[in-house]
Structure 1
């Protein structure tokens, strides 16, 4: 069993759910013993940017081919599938032997952490700020001198130094990520990346912020700027069942996330706009909201002050 969801220990989780449903459905005990004893649920990690159906190009491609393929998908050439399991399994399931970039590894942790922190973390850092600045795709951000430098600094000076792995290897991976972002044929929409940004920030960027601060006694400037942009991104109003924000230039965008998280930000920004609370109180309420972050972030020294400084330059 090889689940590909971007979840830590996804094979272990799948096995737990299979056994749980087996118990819930009163399936025979020998069946559950067989599941547990004779089946392998392997933790795995897929590293590939896949952007979905190429809507803007499909008609041209279909005309060229002479047929329609409604399952058409777009993916970059780069691919890596790391599977936590005995390499001898490749004799039974010859993925590696077939020439695919599949690695059978003893410990998936380094592959998981580097992808989540560097590649996925970069996406999550970029999306709210990019949308607020009027950008639509990752490629546009990479082509933008300011955003390119911002992302490079975040990866090289903040994210990678916070990872407990060989720094040269992490730098090589970081450089490859930036190169992959430049692919002109992969139209990766920032709006798609921004889906559920709160939980993504919590999993992908908050650990870097905390570990950087613990190691250096200071805060990672790029991550803090991204955090500020995230809070500004959730300055929304409800319109016809959707939650709409406005970019720095006044362009509408849609925010999709856990409804409780969105409503929290909507309420905080509404109180601020009415003059009921100052910006600093809005920030403190956000940082102390354990529903969002799983902990109280207001205890991190100077975090509220630095976010406040950035946010003051992002609001009307």
Structure 2
């Protein structure tokens, strides 16, 4: 092995990174390849308790995985060798990102964390973007501006800027948003350097990782004897597909099961439309009938049928031909969602619906109409979200709904209007050209009526009017 050590700096100290990318780097170390390690930090102060717990444990923690049959495994993950403390100036992130040994800067943000309009342009009206254009550090763009300016000043070595999230075309969309931000900010020299010396591969990541509950630490202690203050749990399934386009070297990820490909598009579309959209469909439907967890919602026959029909009747025709076995993928996804041992919450999966509808669902609606077919099964998904948002507007949800682009007054105005569904369906940010379609509005009306009846008697199959 090369004696030169390289650092993978990751921004975003959530559970997903520690159950996914950190696991892959750990498996490389297990093979004897310790040429890469992780430095982990956060832009905001909402992970300080976790970072402190990790620092006290030298970056180590136990990962619990559980299969659909209930088989649990425990691994001590050792790939995070440096935990970066948070301060308002993100000084530790800047110092590490500017270090020559740092060859990859990766990050995990939600769809709303890119601050893009429905046309995938940077939304400069957002308060956080406005703040960062004036020197703040509220967004990924503002943070990277500070980090990369320090890197250029010190040596200017290339670096890969790697997205690890569910945004479609995530590398391209991030790159366009970041370059737009730099242009708007007047950072011409940094703009030119980013264009020349960085790459932003598209990626597809997958592992269901709920927020850890106290019983995870209890099981870890019972199984391993370790008192872990930062354990994480996830399902046994894991997948990572990356465009092989790194600017300054990379770990030998292909040796631990990562798929390095020329284009992630087929995997990305299958995952976003079959897994992510279905996940949200189940969370919204389950919430409407009083369910708390994804597994119990998935195992409701009517909800499972909604998800199955959405994929089978509409998504698969839109994605055919595909190099993937889409029917098999559908069945694996539903089995994973029905895993009774994961206890993923509807609250976690229901979040950020205003970004998920245009990104994950509207492309299938439009695709069906382009094929000359009415998207009856897909219409269930936005119709469920409409009823879910109606509950939110009535303060009737059983939990706090989190959505990075939610404008409360605007949503309440929709539901206070004479025809809320017509006002909602006319939103081009959600439905693109379908916002002008009388046929689509009529389909939504029928679907919402049927769902309102189903919510009253959820044990019945959904009967479309």
Tell me the TM-score normalized by structure 2.
0.55
Conserved in 1, the CA contact under 8 Å of 2:355 and 2:405?
A: no
Q: Which residue of 2 aligns with 1:299?
A: 437
Per the alignment, in what secondary structure is the counterpart of residue 46 of structure 1? strand
Distance 1:245 1:194 in 2: 15
1:310 to 409, 433, 450: 450
Conserved in 1, the CA contact under 8 Å of 2:426 and 2:436?
A: yes
The structure-2 alpha-carbon separation of the partners of 1:121 and 1:73, relative to structure 1 and needing over 3 Å to count, comes to same
Q: Which residue of 2 aligns with 1:227?
A: 382
Distance 1:22 1:208 in 2: 33
The structure-2 alpha-carbon separation of the partners of 1:258 and 1:291, relative to structure 1 and needing over 3 Å to count, comes to farther
Q: Which residue of 1 aligns with 2:170?
A: 10
1:79 to 234, 238, 242: 238
Per the alignment, in what secondary structure is the counterpart of residue 163 of structure 2? coil
| Counterpart check, 1:95 vs 2:253 | yes
Conserved in 1, the CA contact under 8 Å of 2:306 and 2:380?
A: no
| 1:235-246 map, 5 Å | 235-236=390-391, 244-246=395-397
Distance 1:64 1:203 in 2: 41
1:200 to 335, 348, 356: 356
Q: Which residue of 2 aligns with 1:190?
A: 346
Aligned length: 293
Structure 1 residue 204 displacement after superposition:
0.9
The structure-2 alpha-carbon separation of the partners of 1:268 and 1:315, relative to structure 1 and needing over 3 Å to count, comes to farther
| 1:106-121 map, 5 Å | 106-121=262-277
5+ unaligned residues in a row in structure 1: which ranges? 247-251, 272-276
Deviations, residues 116-137 of structure 1 (Å, cap 9, x unaligned) = 0000010121121110111111
| Counterpart check, 1:146 vs 2:286 | no
The structure-2 alpha-carbon separation of the partners of 1:153 and 1:9, relative to structure 1 and needing over 3 Å to count, comes to closer
| Counterpart check, 1:131 vs 2:281 | no
| 1:262-281 map, 5 Å | 262-271=408-417, 277=418, 281=419
Distance 2:320 2:392 in 1: 41
Conserved in 2, the CA contact under 8 Å of 1:233 and 1:245?
A: no
5+ unaligned residues in a row in structure 2: which ranges? 1-159, 457-465
Distance 2:374 2:184 in 1: 50
Per the alignment, in what secondary structure is the counterpart of residue 400 of structure 2? strand
Distance 2:357 2:184 in 1: 35
Distance 1:18 1:166 in 2: 32
Structure 1 residue 44 displacement after superposition:
1.4
Structure 1 residue 260 displacement after superposition:
5.1
Conserved in 2, the CA contact under 8 Å of 1:298 and 1:304?
A: no
1:156 to 309, 312, 320: 312
Structure 1 residue 190 displacement after superposition:
0.9
Structure 1 residue 310 displacement after superposition:
2.6
Per the alignment, in what secondary structure is the counterpart of residue 199 of structure 2? coil
Conserved in 1, the CA contact under 8 Å of 2:241 and 2:260?
A: yes
Conserved in 2, the CA contact under 8 Å of 1:128 and 1:229?
A: yes
